[in-house]
């Protein structure tokens, strides 16, 4: 099944090592001290009622991993929760460090059969571990406090196939993270509204009043209608890049002309104000009428005709004016989907898969040269968004962030 809001009863936190964990399990005072300290630092990993106190409520023994985990019962509502260390995978399917490298390779599109060949087990084991990541809330796992919910987003649909039939992946992006990914069977308003609705649901579980200020789209009417239906007050920003790409399509046989047009178009884009933008649009229109003919001129004039839509972005300096931020992440989606020859199985299985792709992206470690550029302060998109990480290992970090399947929804800011 795809992600469904509800009660999720596993709290996942980090322990320095397994020896420290075992010592906490055998000492009630020590485990309480460690839990209380972790709660003070990261209350967002715990249910809201945790602040009312808790009781230690026995153990659960995993025969598969030969380890026991603690159970807690909250004083406020008498609900029981399991405490899982981040070195154990959900459902006790394995040790995190045993599967971490395999899932990292999956980030690059390596097949499940190849993972089984290189890291043991079988292809189905790796498939199940991977898609299980998609059961977590994408927004709740990635955005840990309400103040980090993005004011400006970019949205578009990735074209793909499911069992040979064309489908669309409504994708929402902000701050280098994929915050929404779903499956739509067509590109109509109703299907896309349902596809983007999951982003709204997950976001408003963190902040019930949340609504993005702006969304950048390519101008597809169904996409615009979907976002307006979900967030009636949202401001639509038309993607300037898509207007230029339509011109580029008509200039395939005229590279020198494209270079000239490109310089003029992007000079217009970089206008410092609405007034300057209007002036440059007028000059671009006059130049195209004097020097261009046929379909190329039509596309340049079409861009000029959309000037009122482009000028909206000047009222929102932080808004995305092009879809570049989303296109880079869609390139990642494209590589993975092409490597696996697109989607297979049921629609729910496909939905879990694209959601897992999103979360693996959000937590994958940047390349060393990128980390060096930011002096080690942005080891992953998650850390770039939130400004901290729970654990130095990316998969531990993901598992901890997905405590309660990303649905604790506390508004406290981590210390």
Q: What is the DSSP string of 208-256?
A: TT---SEEEE---HHHHHHHHHH-TTPEEEE-HHHHHHHHHHHTTT-HH
- Do the beta carbons of residue 295 and residue 250 sit within 8 Å? yes
At residue 293, the pLDDT reads: 85
Helix 294-305 with 255-269: angle, nearest 10 deg: 10
Residue carrying the six token digits 């001129």: 297
Q: Give pLDDT, residue 410.
A: 52
β-pair partners for 62: 67
Domain boundaries, the chain: 10-94+388-406, 240-315
pLDDT of 377: 66
Compute the chain's Rg from CA coordinates: 24
pLDDT per residue over 211-258, tens digit each? 999 999 999 999 999 999 999 999 999 999 999 999 999 998 899 999
242 strand-pairing partners: none
DSSP code at position 87: T
Convert the pLDDT of each residue in 125-146 to its tens digit: 999 999 999 999 999 999 999 9
Distance CA 160, CA 279 (A): 41
* 71 vs 69: CA distance, rounded Å: 7
One-character DSSP codes across 316-368: -TTS-SSSHHHHHHHHHHHHHHHHTTSB-S-HHHHHHHHHHHHHHHHHSPPPH
Which of 162, 161, 152, 156 shows the shortest CA–CA distance to 180? 156
Taking the CB of residue 170, how many other CB atoms lie within 10 A of it? 26
Predicted pLDDT at 8: 79
Residue stretches of the chain with pLDDT short of 70:
1-7, 374-377, 408-415
Q: How far is CA 11 from CA 39, 196, 229, 325, in A?
A: 11, 28, 35, 33
């Amino acid at each position: 099944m795809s992600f469904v809001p509800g009660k999720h009863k596993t709290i996942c936190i980090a322990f320095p090592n397994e020896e420290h964990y075992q010592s906490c399990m055998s000492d009630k005072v020590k485990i309480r001290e460690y839990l209380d300290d972790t709660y003070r630092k990261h209350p967002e990993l715990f249910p809201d009622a945790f602040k009312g106190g808790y009781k230690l409520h026995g153990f659960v023994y995993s025969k598969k991993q030969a380890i026991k985990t603690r159970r807690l019962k909250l004083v406020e509502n008498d609900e029981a929760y399991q405490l899982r260390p981040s070195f154990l995978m959900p459902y006790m399917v394995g040790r995190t460090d045993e599967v971490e490298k395999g899932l990292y390779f999956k980030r690059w599109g390596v097949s499940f059969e190849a993972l089984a060949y290189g890291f043991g087990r079988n292809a189905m084991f790796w498939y199940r571990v991977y898609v299980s990541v998609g059961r977590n809330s994408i927004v709740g796992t990635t955005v840990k406090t309400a103040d980090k919910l993005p004011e400006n987003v970019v949205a578009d649909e990735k074209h793909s196939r499911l069992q040979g039939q064309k489908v669309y992946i409504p994708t929402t992006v902000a701050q280098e993270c994929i915050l929404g990914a779903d499956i739509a069977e067509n590109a109509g308003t109703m299907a896309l509204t349902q596809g983007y609705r999951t982003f709204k649901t997950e976001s408003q579980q963190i902040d019930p009043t949340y609504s993005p200020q702006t969304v950048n789209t390519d101008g597809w009417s169904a996409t615009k209608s979907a976002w307006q239906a979900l967030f009636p007050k949202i401001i639509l920003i038309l993607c300037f890049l898509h207007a230029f790409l339509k011109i580029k399509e008509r200039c395939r046989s005229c590279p020198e002309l494209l270079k000239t047009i490109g310089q003029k178009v992007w000079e217009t884009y970089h206008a410092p104000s609405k007034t300057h933008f209007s002036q440059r649009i007028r000059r671009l229109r006059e130049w195209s009428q004097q020097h261009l003919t046929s379909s190329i001129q039509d596309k340049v004039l079409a861009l000029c005709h959309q000037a009122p839509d482009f000028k909206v972005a000047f009222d929102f300096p932080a808004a995305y004016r092009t879809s570049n931020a989303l296109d880079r992440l869609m390139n990642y989606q494209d590589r993975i989907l092409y490597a696996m020859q697109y989607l297979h199985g049921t629609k729910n299985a496909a939905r879990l898969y694209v959601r897992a792709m999103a979360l693996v992206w959000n937590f994958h470690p940047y390349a060393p040269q990128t980390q060096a550029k930011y002096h080690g302060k942005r080891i992953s998109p998650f850390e770039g968004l939130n400004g901290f990480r729970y654990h130095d290992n990316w998969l531990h970090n993901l598992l901890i962030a997905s405590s309660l399947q990303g649905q604790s929804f506390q508004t406290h800011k981590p210390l």
